[in-house]
Amino acid sequence: MHIVLVHGSGGSAGSWSSVVPLLQEAGISSTTFDGPSQSLHDDVATVRHLVDAADDDVLLVGHSYGGAVITGAGTHPRVRGLVYVAAWVPDEGESVNQLVGEFPEAEVGRWFSRGEDGSWIPDDSPAAREALSWDVPAEVWERKVQDRRTSADAIFTERSDVPAWRDRPSWYLLATSDKHIHPEAQTYMATRAGAEIVTVPTSHAVPHAAPEAVVRTITEALSAVSN
């Protein structure tokens, strides 16, 4: 079984830099999606191409906005299951923005500005790190800031197609101290998707704050879908 890791908005392949070495140590092969965060539909298509290129069936893993991506890409016939990591899990016809509006406002909204084209520009100041990603090691945060991309509004407003979680098993790693996606929203989405829920007491940056928990959940999912 092959793993495809899908980062969140404004992220990159480096978003999984704390997870990939642990997967390698465990002998688990993986590919890391590296997209520009400009279009949900384009990102879904790119991930489906990565599934095509894999030499085995695939388990998709998505963090944050990456959850919306794997929800669409996961209908590929070679995808066996889905692992959501503090992620958005839309239903058919839903957008991330729609889901955002249905739950209490998350603190992350205070730490973004908008470009003239509607793009979302994160605040990468030390104060933002302290408020949102306090449990991310300083050297990881610095690399993350240097690799940051600006996200187009379209990734949050484009609507999801038929969701893969309707007929694929799924797991959800829920961050109970998340300041990006309200834990209440995470619980609702994971439950609606019928996901097996695992909680971690971390910020939204679960792949860096608790990479061992991510790999443990992936391993459990692999064991289940391989039987």
Residues serving a catalytic function are 64
Distance CA 180, CA 173 (A): 14
| Cα separation values, 2 from 80, 139, 181, 197, 222, Å | 10, 29, 28, 22, 9
In angstroms, the CA 41 to CA 73 distance is 9
Q: Which two tokens stand for residue 127?
A: 């104060």
Which residues are within 8 A (CB) of 13 and not within 5 positions of it... i.e. 6 or more apart? 7, 32, 33, 34
Contact 61, 13 (CB under 8 A): no
| Amino acid (1-letter code) at residue 168 | R
The beta-carbon contacts of 181-189 under 8 Å, at least 24 apart in sequence, are: 181/64, 181/86, 181/87, 181/88, 181/106, 182/103, 182/104, 182/105, 182/106, 184/103, 184/104, 185/99, 185/100, 185/102, 185/103, 186/86, 186/87, 188/103, 189/84, 189/88, 189/89, 189/90, 189/99
